Structure 1
């Protein structure tokens, strides 16, 4: 853990920390926007399941407001054209999630913590597991949930903090266990889980996305 902590603290002293702080500020600002804007971010998080985040960002920008309006078949065709994996299934998830589009802000603001909100999203939004729900919540301002994807798992495993899971799909128990490891790392580095994810992602990929 010491080596990883030192690396994080080194980045905290660099200009990358300002970029990360700006990104966190953007997340807070997004959380205050109308529900329809939050819905577009929810769609982005649905797209990221088993798919590259940078490509999902491109698709989100391309489709924009049409996440709210395109019929399922047309949306699936557009997702396919833009290179999205599992386009038919994800189009279905997005169309079904539209029933919450106008009340999304009210829904997530009603919870007292990220973990509590996450349970609701996992249960009520098809296409969102613990990783995707955590991703959405972090991107709209929550800082107390971890986004655990294979990049984070690989990094933690290489540093001896966890044993690499045998399968890509994490059970709830495994997810929360790894999240607890990340909580300890966040405490040791003086940051919240939302910030920590951006630092770890930068270490692993060289990118600061969202």
Structure 2
């Protein structure tokens, strides 16, 4: 019910349903936090996370991903670092979390931290590469985005990674590189 109400933008009703549930698990908290992200109220996720901590409820991988998403939207480095410091290592080593962290650090302007996470990823996939290409693009590092795109195995390239690298070229004024990549795609 929380998820459905949030998708319809009825945050107040979703919060009422949430408060009415006696035994809340990580999935119930996650549904509420995800709804806040969907409805532009990501800052509320941090309050919910503190409530979870008080009740000794540890987010699952999905919950951590939602919290990382809230950090990405907030752009507040201290929130980002605080949340990252809370994530258990066995969760931090999961590729979806690592990709989300790359995206988060890139959106918050901490390209060095994004690159550090990227360098730790052992078996990179399309999402991981694309997150790092986009992080470079968002931070005015078009040449680095193109260089990483060139290093990316061809079988991992998709329309999203192509759009990200072309966007990086556009913002950095790399017309020749953009034209070359566009011609390769066509």
Q: TM-score by structure 2 length?
A: 0.29
Bigger fraction of residues in helix = 2
Q: TM-score by structure 1 length?
A: 0.26
Higher relative CO (Cα under 8 Å, sequence separation at least 6) belongs to 1
